[in-house]
Amino acid sequence: MPDDRVTLPSERLTSAKQVDKLQAAFGLEGRLNFFVSELGGVVAKVTTEDSDALIALQGAQVLSWIPQGYRETLWLSPDARLGTGKAVRGGIPVCWPWFGAHPCTPSKPSHGVARTAVWDIAGSALTQDGVVIKFRLPDANDTATGLSARLEVTVGPDLGLALLTRNTGQQTVQLTQALHSYFLVGDIDDVSIAGLEGCAYIDALAEGLRRQQSGLITIGEEVDRIYQGVSRPVVIHDGRLRRRIEIENGGSQSCIVWNPWIAKSERLGDMGPQGYRAMVCVETANAGDDTVQLKAGAEHELRAKIGVKPML
């Protein structure tokens, strides 16, 4: 996605003015720049010796992460557009403060309110781990339950995400959430996923039936599973691209593995031709039995550290 500093129609002038303000307040010379993306919204572009990234202010959503010497790590829908009121499919959507359907009100948006909200930038820094950008979900988007959210993204040799939720209300609140990472793979036929062997999982395609994972995960049909008791890094072995993607989780004991396959991809309509063959979601989460009961005044941090290495 090129950095398109073009003359914008007036309706996007505000974004251009916003960019200037952001650049002045948080830009880091040669490391962190803000621009109005061709996708239709403001995006932060991070450039380091170890990796480059693009992060949209909408949803504080990482759209791209390219480690030095490797191809893009994240899959992004060819139909991705910002500012449409719809969540962007791909990259790392932040599902918060509920995962999936709202527990009490089905009419509320799937996967919460964070993905379509424009987050504020709360800070930026150069650290030994890379460029750090801090996002804050504006209070207007807090649910009635008084939850607040901040996301810290670290771009360096690894990609780090830390989603901090604080309960500023007076009651204990049930929190489910996910860093809904869409990983790019060479071809789904040549992919296996390690680290979940022996874990129980809730099969979303079988009315929530509980099953147990035996051996490595391979994908040859639609898969939609909420793994429980996750205690080790999850590794995607991508044979076609000769790489492995390692995901270290923190504050999480659940992980969703999802691929829509053919029929669901057609229903979704924004996976592009054969898109299901080039992606797999491995999502660091608090979901299923791993729901967080967040007491008044308490906080919980969900973390993912993503690294890419050559195939062993």
The dihedral built from the CA positions of residue 5, 16, 38 and 76, taken in this order, carries a sign that is positive
Q: Quick one: residue 266, left, alpha or beta (phi over 0 = left, psi -120 to 50 = alpha)? A: alpha
- Residues that bind ligand TA6 (rule: CB under 6 A) add up to a total of 12
Site for ligand TA6 contains 83 (CB under 6 A): no
CB of 165 to ligand TA6, least distance (A): 19
65: nearest Cα among 44, 50, 51, 48: 51
Site for ligand TA6 contains 87 (CB under 6 A): yes
From the list 43, 63, 98, 111, which residue makes contact with ligand TA6 (rule: CB under 6 A)?
111
Answer yes or no: 237 catalytic.
no
CB of 137 to ligand TA6, least distance (A): 18
Site for ligand TA6 contains 110 (CB under 6 A): yes
Site for ligand TA6 contains 103 (CB under 6 A): no
Site for ligand TA6 contains 270 (CB under 6 A): no
Site for ligand TA6 contains 261 (CB under 6 A): no
Site string for ligand TA6, 170-209 (x = CB under 6 A): ----------x-----------------------x-----
Site string for ligand TA6, 41-60 (x = CB under 6 A): --------------------
Any residues with CB less than 8 A from the CB of 169 and at least 6 apart, and which?
Answer: 145, 146, 147, 296
Answer yes or no: 283 catalytic.
yes
Which member of 283, 299, 300, 301 is catalytic?
283
From the list 40, 100, 146, 239, which residue makes contact with ligand TA6 (rule: CB under 6 A)?
100
Nearer to ligand TA6, 166 or 264 (CB): 264
Site for ligand TA6 contains 158 (CB under 6 A): no
Site string for ligand TA6, 209-228 (x = CB under 6 A): ---------------x----
Nearer to ligand TA6, 171 or 274 (CB): 274
Kindly list the residues in this chain that would bind ligand TA6 in the complex (CB under 6 A): 87, 89, 100, 110-111, 180, 204, 224, 256, 258, 281, 283
Q: Which residues are catalytic?
A: 180, 283
